[in-house]
Amino acid sequence: MKDNSKKENVKQFSPESLMMSFGYKPELSEGAIKCPIFQTSTFVFKNAEEGKAFFELAYGLRKKNEGEEMGLIYSRLNNPDLEILENRLCLWDRAEEAASFVSGMAAISTAFLTFLKPGDALIYSKPVYGGTDYFVNNILPSYGIKTYGFLAGVSNEEIINTVGKDARVKMIFIETPANPTNSLIDLGEASNIARHYSNDDSKCLLAVDNTYLGPVWQHPLAHGADLILYSATKFISGHSDVIAGACLGSHKLIEQVKVMRTFMGSMASPFVVWLLMRSLETLKIRMERQVKNAKVVAEFLQSHPRVQKVYYLGFLREKEDAKAFKIFKNQCLSAGSMISFDIKGGEKEAFLFLNSLELFHLAVSLGSTESLAEHPASMTHSDILPEDQMQMGISPQMVRLSIGVENADDLVWDLSQALEK
């Protein structure tokens, strides 16, 4: 079972120091140093009175007594592995509570359905992850939810004017840095839009997909966000062997998300969560190494004659990119390890390059220990109309790289030989 009682005392340690042990009591599991996989669907009550008391809390029939914890009932509602993982995820973002999901899309869609009702409206940044884009443009409207998309750089005034007075905006959803262009959106400005649409009766929430830089390099709750969403498939898992997701925020909001999760059945499974706990132990060192490697790779690409333009946060300049530079300094703790670049030529040259790679794998997804390369226009973002792609800066020349933990010289060697082709 989880242990929150010592939370205040252990706060002094950094998250990376707590990832091996936080929230787990060996004495409750035969002294095992590692949290076992609680591969069980249901939990035995000590007696009928206990079962009754647990259900009263689970169904909100009464308030918790002083110090009372939600008891274990059934693994769709709660499970020790899920609770411990969720406590550990909270440490990076300094969130009060987290909910783990079977995928990033399950986290995103469950959060949407928790807070958006027929007649409500959603404002979102463009581009967003392809699955999110599909859900926002095809599924939410079929439930009577209006959606309005905006490119990075559009002012709050323009957004508010375009959306109009009649829309009942209940959520602002943004992805920053955006995939695959690394364009940035100011979290503080986005929280101002959310505030504009909030009143005493109802709050408009700012939700941020923090998959690209989080949870180590960007902490949206500290910049006015209400909810953070993750595809834990990416950096959090980091080994390309798990699909999972998470949603973080205040107790009040995440309790509502967990109610929807219970009835959608979109929670993660104990084994997946156990793998994520194992991954979290090395999250920071993986991400640090990936950042180091990415810097070497970006500098190599920048100086290569066959490369037209490199999209990398580390290249933002105070004078030339004043606005983006300011956002970067204010809300990002590192340039991360995602790089896109335009190769000279078009799709043909991009494909020749991709087909020539020997160490990089040609695959979508990101954030893993191995380096990956893909072609956004024809792969991850192929669902977006060509004219919209161009507007977002996704051209047929663009290649996206996710940099792993390999030897940086080997990565440069591979890119160099593929560019020579």
Q: Which residues bind ligand PLP (CB under 6 A)?
A: 103-105, 129, 131-132, 175, 179, 209, 211-212, 231, 233-234, 243, 245
Nearest-angstrom CA–CA distance, 329 and 309: 22
| Least Å from the CB of residue 57 to ligand PLP | 30
Choice between 93 and 175, CB closer to ligand PLP: 175
Choice between 270 and 367, CB closer to ligand PLP: 367
Choice between 119 and 265, CB closer to ligand PLP: 265
SS3 372: strand
Sequence-ordered list of residues with C-beta below 8 angstroms from that of 241, at least 6 positions apart, any chain:
275
| Least Å from the CB of residue 416 to ligand PLP | 28
* Degrees to nearest 5, angle at CA 87 with 48 and 61: 35
* Degrees to nearest 5, angle at CA 87 with 85 and 88: 65
DSSP 8-state code for residue 7: H
Choice between 72 and 208, CB closer to ligand PLP: 208
Q: Which residue is nearest to ligand PLP (CB)?
A: 104
SS3 420: helix
Choice between 23 and 214, CB closer to ligand PLP: 214
| Least Å from the CB of residue 244 to ligand PLP | 6
| Least Å from the CB of residue 108 to ligand PLP | 6
Choice between 132 and 331, CB closer to ligand PLP: 132
- Separation in Å, CA 389 to CA 125, 242, 385: 14, 29, 6
Nearest-angstrom CA–CA distance, 141 and 14: 43
Choice between 79 and 103, CB closer to ligand PLP: 103
H-helix or E-strand containing 120? Answer: strand 120-126
Contact in structure between 400 and 374 (CB atoms under 8 Å): yes
Nearest partner of 20 among 280, 287, 284, judged by Cα: 280
| Least Å from the CB of residue 15 to ligand PLP | 21
| Least Å from the CB of residue 243 to ligand PLP | 5
What residue type is assigned to position 232 of the chain? A
Label residue 318 exposed, middle or buried (CB < 10 Å: 0-12, 13-18, 19+). exposed
| Least Å from the CB of residue 315 to ligand PLP | 21
| Least Å from the CB of residue 212 to ligand PLP | 6
H-helix or E-strand containing 374? Answer: strand 372-374
* Degrees to nearest 5, angle at CA 45 with 76 and 30: 85
Choice between 243 and 363, CB closer to ligand PLP: 243
Q: Is the peptide bond before 177 cis (omega within 30 degrees of 0)?
A: yes
Nearest-angstrom CA–CA distance, 349 and 354: 9
| Least Å from the CB of residue 131 to ligand PLP | 5
Nearest-angstrom CA–CA distance, 225 and 220: 5
**For residue 31, how many C-alpha atoms fall within 13 Å in the half-sphere facing its CB?**
0
Choice between 179 and 279, CB closer to ligand PLP: 179
